[in-house]
């Protein structure tokens, strides 16, 4: 089976690589030539690019986070730190100024005041004011969906919380003491929009101008978009008037969408590309041995690749069926065939209780088909059943071999699984519908706390407007789980009460197993030896502001 998967992938990659090689010969030579040219131009190759420019708009994919991050400012950002292996990472324990040059938290801890840079301007030259900041925060908490739920993760919920003091002073009144409030201001969602520009494109049906901003930039960040061809190429141009940090070294960034991993790898080795982002584990492992190439691999914080089951759809509404599947996942084969060992195992725990309040951590499941069969015998599905397993084909170099191995293993239990391949550009919209029976998904919480991950991935319907949050793809809802998550958000961290609550909701997740964690994967990046300044970020996208070519 392992030979079949790798042989199949090699043939497919060769075919696709040939197709894209021809395409690049025709349309991309100018872009590729720049990789070996100006030191202020960076050529990046990715598996799939942004399908939209506004993270507030429905259906914008994960690569869209990076576009949004680089073209808009936020009030605050994070510091950085050097990891033991020498890689550089953001530091979630340190907040630093961005659009706000300083801020003050009130003595009672129930509000914060932000003092804006007086020389900050949007890309069109319009000065940034506190009115724009308020409008942007009002928008984020009002548009619904992913953006509003993200704001709620930091107890940022109502427009009434946001106050314009004067043109360059903005205040947030807190609803409650929440350790996530200030950190949540530094994530991608609370970006500052040119409010008057967006209002020109708003309508009665679209009061926040989401349709227009999905394909247009209304920010003042370090970069703007020179051109955007979805599924082909995105070109960034430096904003030379940017005041919210040191002016980036790179003037232009060319991001090429190249689905073929072998083509991306060949471009990097030839010097036709400067950097290949989010590489498949196999390729980065081999590139690490190549001359003139350096690689970075950081375990993604608060993250897991998981097999997730919709608990509202039979037979996955039966916990014993879910446990049976957890004992039927061929974990070790997946780690070898899909991840090439580049990840932290999230299976095989010695006991059925968590070892700490940390997340992620191993669940108490390993491949044991006899246990799986015994559990199914206790359900109406002793002879198996039929279902579908959905995957993001935009991450097919990892998701497809995982799916094939799971399909084969479940077949030994009489469970017939059809693999449903969803394009990367449509995967976010597909999981939002909450109607996929089973799927393979990778999710990482931006803020590195256990309760934050669980707020996004396990929180139920009780306080989310009738729907679970976006990344609760299992449509899982449990009142006790919700209560523990809410209490943990307000508990002192670190602290004994927080640990108690976190271990309680992790225990329930292990027992009821609506999602089966498989690995905490690495974020893999390979670059030419003359590229410097790469920094790992929690949103798993590139921040071009730190990168340089020597």
CATH of the domain at 97: 3.90.76.10
Q: Is the pTM of the predicted complex or chain greater than 0.75?
A: yes
- pLDDT confidence of residue 435: 94
Q: Domain holding 45: CATH number?
A: 3.40.190.10
**Residues 44 and 101 placed together within one structural domain of the fold:** no
Is position 140 within any domain? yes
Same domain, 462 and 315: yes
Are 234 and 155 members of one domain?
no
Decide if 417 contacts 437 (C-beta within 8 A).
no
Q: For residue 165, tell me if it sits in a domain.
A: yes
Together in a domain, 244 and 322? no
* Rg of the chain (C-alpha set): 23
Which tens digit of pLDDT belongs to each residue from 61-101? 889 999 999 999 999 999 999 988 888 999 999 999 999 99
Closest CA to 354 of 194, 469, 227, 506: 506
d(CA 400, CA 112) in angstroms, rounded, equals 47
* 392 and 266 belong to one structural domain: no
Maximal CA-CA distance, the chain? 69
Regarding predicted confidence, which is higher, 141 or 39? 141
SS3 (DSSP) at 251: coil
Q: Is the pLDDT of residue 22 over 50?
A: no
With respect to residue 137, please indicate whether it lies within any of the assigned structural domains: yes
Among 152, 172, 201, the domain-final residue is 201
- Alpha helices by DSSP H, listed for 367-476, are 369-377, 396-411, 424-432, 450-457
Does residue 330 sit within a domain?
yes
Number of domains in the chain: 3
Q: Is the domain of 30 the same as that of 49?
A: yes
**Domain C-terminal end among 172, 201, 230:** 201
Q: Which domain holds residue 46?
A: 2-69+221-274+530-549
Task: Answer yes or no: is 118 within a domain.
Answer: yes
Secondary structure E strands in 285-415: 293-299, 303-309, 343-345, 386-392
Query: Does residue 426 lie in a domain region?
Result: yes
pLDDT for position 425: 83
Task: Check whether residue 323 and residue 445 sit in a common domain.
Answer: yes
> Cis omega before residue 360 (within 30°)?
yes
313 shares its domain with 344: yes
Tally the C-alpha atoms within 13 A of residue 63's C-alpha that lie toward its C-beta.
24
Pair 510, 537 in one domain: no
Query: What's the CATH number where 469 sits?
Result: 3.10.105.10
pLDDT grade, residue 191 (50/70/90)?
very high
pLDDT per residue over 464-520, tens digit each?
Answer: 455 788 899 999 999 999 999 999 988 999 999 999 999 999 999 999 999 999 999
Residue 30 has pLDDT above 80, yes or no: no
Q: Are residues 38 and 65 in the same domain?
A: yes
372 occurs within a structural domain: yes
Average pLDDT of the residues in 220-249:
97
Nearest to 88 by CA among 533, 540, 521: 533
CB 56 within 8 A of CB 139: yes
Which position has the higher pLDDT, 281 or 405? 405
For residue range 378-392, list pLDDT tens digits in order. 999 999 999 999 999
332 and 369 share a domain?
Answer: yes
209: in domain? no
* Whether residue 397 is found in the same domain as residue 349: yes
């Amino acid at each position: 089976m392992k030979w079949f998967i790798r042989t199949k992938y090699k043939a497919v990659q060769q075919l696709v690589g040939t197709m894209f090689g021809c395409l690049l010969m025709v349309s991309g030579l100018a872009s590729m030539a720049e990789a070996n040219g100006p030191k202020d131009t960076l050529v990046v190759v990715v598996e799939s690019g942004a399908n939209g420019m506004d993270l507030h708009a429905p259906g914008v994919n994960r690569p869209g986070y990076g576009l949004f991050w680089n073209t808009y400012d936020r009030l605050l950002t994070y510091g950085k730190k050097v990891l033991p292996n020498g890689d550089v990472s953001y530091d979630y324990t340190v907040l630093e100024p961005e659009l706000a040059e300083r801020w003050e938290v009130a003595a009672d801890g129930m509000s914060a005041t932000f003092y804006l840079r007086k020389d900050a301007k949007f890309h069109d030259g319009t000065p940034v004011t506190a009115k724009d900041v308020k409008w942007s925060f009002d928008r984020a908490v009002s548009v619904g969906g992913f953006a509003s739920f993200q704001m709620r993760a930091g107890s940022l919920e109502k427009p009434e919380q946001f106050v314009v003091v004067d043109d360059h002073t903005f205040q947030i009144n807190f609803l409650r003491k929440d350790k996530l409030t200030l950190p949540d201001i530094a994530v991608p969602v609370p970006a500052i929009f040119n409010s008057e520009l967006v209002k020109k494109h708003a309508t009665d049906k679209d009061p926040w101008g989401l349709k227009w901003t999905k394909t247009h930039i209304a920010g003042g960040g370090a970069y703007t978009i020179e051109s955007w061809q979805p599924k082909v190429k995105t070109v960034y141009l430096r904003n030379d008037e940017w005041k919210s940090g040191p002016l980036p070294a790179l003037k232009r960034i060319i991001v090429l969408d190249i689905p073929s991993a072998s083509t991306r790898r060949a471009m990097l080795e030839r010097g036709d590309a400067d950097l290949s982002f989010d590489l498949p584990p196999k390729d980065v492992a081999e590139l690490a041995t190549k001359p003139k190439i350096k690689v970075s691999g950081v375990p993604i914080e608060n993250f897991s690749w998981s097999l997730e089951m919709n608990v509202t759809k039979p037979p996955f509404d039966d916990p014993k069926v879910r446990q049976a599947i957890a004992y039927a996942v061929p974990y070790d084969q997946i780690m070898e065939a899909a991840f090439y060992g580049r990840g932290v195992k999230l299976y095989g725990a010695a006991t059925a209780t968590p070892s700490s309040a940390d997340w992620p951590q191993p669940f108490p499941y390993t491949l044991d088909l006899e246990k799986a069969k015994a559990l199914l015998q206790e359900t109406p599905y002793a002879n198996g059943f039929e279902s579908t397993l959905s995957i993001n084909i935009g991450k097919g170099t990892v998701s497809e071999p995982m799916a094939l191995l799971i399909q084969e293993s479940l077949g030994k239990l009489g469970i017939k699984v059809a693999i449903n391949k969803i394009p990367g550009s449509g995967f976010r919209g597909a999981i939002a519908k909450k109607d996929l029976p089973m799927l393979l998904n990778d999710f990482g919480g931006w803020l590195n706390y256990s309760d934050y991950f669980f707020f996004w991935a396990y929180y139920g319907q009780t306080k989310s407007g009738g729907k679970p949050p976006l990344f609760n793809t299992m449509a899982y809802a449990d009142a006790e789980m919700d209560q523990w998550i809410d209490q943990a958000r307000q508990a002192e961290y670190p602290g004994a009460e927080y640990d108690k609550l976190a271990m309680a909701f992790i225990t329930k997740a292990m027992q009821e197993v609506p999602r089966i964690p498989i690995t905490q994967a690495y974020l893999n990046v390979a670059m030419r030896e003359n590229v410097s300044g790469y920094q790992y970020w929690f949103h798993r996208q590139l921040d071009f502001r730190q990168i340089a070519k020597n």
